[in-house]
Amino acid sequence: MNISAARRVARAGLPTRYGIFEMFVYETPERKEHLALTLGAIDEGGPVLVRVHSECLTGDVLGSSRCDCGEQLDDSLRFLQEEGRGILLYLRQEGRGIGLTKKISAYALQEQGLDTVEANLALGLPEDTRDYRVAAEMLLDLGVRRARLLTNNPAKIEGLERNGVEVVERIPLSMSPNPSNVGYLRTKREKMGHLLPKPVALEVAGGRWGQSPLRRRPDPRQGRIEYSDDLADDR
């Protein structure tokens, strides 16, 4: 493995509506600042629950329903607190690495009928430019060499393992499709290789919006995802 490009530059406690985390800031030579939110004893040698989340201003901050990013961030932070031990890495890779301006330009093309991959290609951009080397470097710096990864994206598993972090388990994240993101989720599954859990994949493929969508419920005792169509105590 090459010399680390990520350098730890700051640390402080972070109380949130989910609970208290320890926050670490890492800086790269490109002057990008990435975050690690940690909870519990993460450097004791056993596999650690990890979520690698790429920045999405529109979903994470503004609550956009075009994607599932904000819901994934929200559920990941809740799951970490319920588990009592783990890490969320927040990578500054807006728009799958193309940046906010180009992402919004791609949105405009999607409004004309292109899907998320076609829109990127029409702008002369790759469908996904994200690099997970920095995520692996951050984990190794924090003493984590084995991860239980919250993800539907095989590229994240490959990216971590290529750079020295063993993924011993993949835990799927499932969101409820909505009319604004059903096409996006279908494209992620069909063109980008995302491993959407079967219940959601069926909902996406069938477009059965009249039925109660299946929602993800983390079971911190067993480290797996359970599903239910009861929405009474969501959020």
The pLDDT tens digits of the residues spanning 173-228 come to 877 888 888 877 887 888 877 887 554 444 544 444 333 333 344 443 344 333 33
The domains of the chain are located at: 7-93+130-176
User: Does 233 qualify as catalytic in the annotation?
Assistant: no
Active site residue 128: yes
The CATH H-level superfamily of 7-93+130-176 is: GTP cyclohydrolase II (3.40.50.10990)
Residue 164 pLDDT class (50, 70, 90 cuts): very high
Write down the pLDDT at residue 203: 52
Active site residue: 68, 96, 128, 148, which one?
A: 128
Average pLDDT over residues 7-19: 96
- What are the distances in angstroms from CA 54 to CA 31, 94, 95? 16, 7, 8
Average pLDDT score, the chain: 82
Alpha-carbon distance of 130 to 212, in angstroms, equals 34
* Catalytic residue chosen out of the listed positions 51, 96, 130, 133: 130
CA distance 224 to 197: 12
Q: How far is CA 216 from CA 10, 23, 62, 187, 221, in A?
A: 34, 26, 22, 20, 15
Using pLDDT thresholds of 50, 70 and 90, give the confidence band for residue 230: very low
